[in-house]
Amino acid sequence: MKHIACIFSLAFLLVSSGCAELPRLQTWVQPYERELLADPYMNFNHDPITQSFRQHVYQTREGANVGSSSNGGGCGCN
Amino acid sequence: MLAPAAMEVVVGATNLGAPLKRSLNIKHLITCLFIGGILSALAIKVDAVTLPEERTDLGFNYYNGDDLEVDGPVLLVRKNIMERYSVSAKYKEDNISGASVDVRSQASAYSETREEISLGGQAIIDNSIFRLSSTISDEPDYESKSVGIAVSHYFLSDLFTLNLGYNRGWDTVGQIDTNLDEAIDRHIFNLGISSVFSKSALFSLNYEVNMEEGRLDNPYRGAILQGAHVPEKYPDTRIGHGLSVDTLYYHRTNTVSRFFYRFFTDTWAVSSNTFKFTYITPVKYIGPEFVIESHLRLYDQDGASFYSDNAASATKFIARDKELSDFGTIEIGAVGHYDLEKWNKKYFNQLVASIGYTAIFFEYNNFTDLSKNQLLNFRADLLQIYITARY
């Protein structure tokens, strides 16, 4: 647990502090070229209602989806 | 009977509990996250970091599978404040009734209600977004509370986003008509990076560590040992690792395709592969205001080392939870979104009505439905109807 916490913290510190140099690199997609990327469906979470509903089903029916932020228990959900 | 390799996994799982509490230093982690966030926020000039869209969703969910019905309303409200802050609230209710296969063999039919309330807040600090969230889920025999902190840091002209998150959960396990009151502690770490791959493609890579400690079995369920019902016995701890990739691609035909893959493994020897393909397209015959989102999902799981349909001999741990067995699912579904342009008012930019149906086919390889004396398989139907207002 301690190791994982340290790894996560260090990764964030290293990447965030190193980011100051990155804007000097050339970007391959300019901001004015991102029209398609701005489409509402080009969003990994464009439909939160559907995603949360399905995720709760997976969490209660599959062994590999444990411990989300909306746990339920009892006989019904198991 | 457990294989020797499986026994090693089980013993390993039990030894993980002791150091879990001792080495836990949450203050250290949160402090580092905040320091990292502040440093990153100061590192670069402001870029176009935006908050999630303002929206309100009101809908109804319905699930029916294996003689179990779950239905109820859901409401999500998200509002921005001063273009730098965003707050959200969600309410969900599940009315559960019926008798699943576990209940049919060991208990009687029942009905209950689960309520879930989530609150969240986000703030832009230069080119980072900080998130706080809290969720409470309550039902007669189970209570779950969680708080989460996360940060998304945009860099290299917003071509990359680094995501870090930590979620802490406290569950209370109860049992109707008894004084059972036992706890589960949860820790979830998320580390991910998403990228603008091209002018029309996005890519995301995510890693998750999930730790649970406490009463992890279900007090209502039992196992079977040499044909006789016996109480289940689980390890006290479980640590899972999930790695996933997610891609979005915008085609010239104004359609979007999405591919998702996730691998999961844990200290109980559960492992799984998940594939999902989604295709989003306007329906030309009806008009550009109607968009249909269809998907195919495949899930395959290898069960826990201490799972047994009917154990031949006594072991330290034993389970007969079908979610820990060997099984697979095939899922197909579609959601239709209809833009109600005529109904748009000055109070919101867009009003969309959506209806979705999903069928999930479960097929178990080593879980027997004792009422039929055959391996269990069933179809679950999911139905959603909701309306979304963007403003």
pLDDT at site A76 = 44
CA distance A29 to A42: 16
Nearest-Cα distance to chain A for B180, in Å, is: 12
As a whole number of Å, the CA-based R_g of chain A is 20
Mean local confidence (pLDDT), B264-290: 92
Give contacts of B154 with chain A, Cβ < 8 Å.
Answer: none
Tens digit of pLDDT for each residue in B105-125?
A: 666 677 889 999 999 999 999
A29 with B196: Cβ contact below 8 A? yes
Give contacts of A64 with chain B, Cβ < 8 Å.
Answer: 240, 242, 262, 264, 266, 270-272, 274, 301
B274 with A71: Cβ contact below 8 A? no
CA distance B48 to B40: 15
Supply A13's token pair: 């510190």
Angle at B362 between CA B360 and CA B363, to 5 degrees: 150
Q: Tokens 């730790």 belong to which residue?
A: B211
Nearest-Cα distance to chain B for A76, in Å, is: 6
A27 with B61: Cβ contact below 8 A? no
A26 lies within 8 A of chain B by CB: no
A32 lies within 8 A of chain B by CB: no
Q: Which candidate from A12, A36, A72 shows the least CB-CB separation from B137?
A: A72
Mean local confidence (pLDDT), B66-92: 94
Length of chain B: 391
A5 with B189: Cβ contact below 8 A? yes
Give contacts of B336 with chain A, Cβ < 8 Å.
Answer: none
* Structural domain count of chain B: 1
CB B247 within 8 A of CB B202: yes
pLDDT at site B242 = 96
Tens digit of pLDDT for each residue in B140-150?
A: 889 999 999 99
CATH number at residue B333: 2.40.160.40
A7 pLDDT more than 80: no
Amino acid B73 reads: P
Give the residue from B267, B338, B269, B336 showing the smallest Cα distance to B301. B269
Return the number of CB contacts < 8 Å for A and B: 263
pLDDT at site B20 = 40
B24 with A1: Cβ contact below 8 A? yes
Q: Which candidate from A1, A12, A62 shows the least CB-CB separation from B33?
A: A12
Give the residue from B17, B1, B11 showing the smallest Cα distance to B213. B17
A69 with B240: Cβ contact below 8 A? no
Residue range of the domain that includes B374: 4-390
Identify the band that residue B286 occupies on the pLDDT scale cut at 50, 70 and 90.
confident
pLDDT at site B137 = 94
Identify the band that residue B46 occupies on the pLDDT scale cut at 50, 70 and 90.
very low
Give contacts of B43 with chain A, Cβ < 8 Å.
Answer: 16-17, 19-20
Say how far residue B194 (Cα) sits from the centre of its chain.
19
CB B237 within 8 A of CB B20: yes
Nearest-Cα distance to chain B for A51, in Å, is: 11
CA distance B258 to B47: 27
CB B358 within 8 A of CB B331: yes
CB B61 within 8 A of CB B74: yes
> pTM of the full predicted structure?
0.83
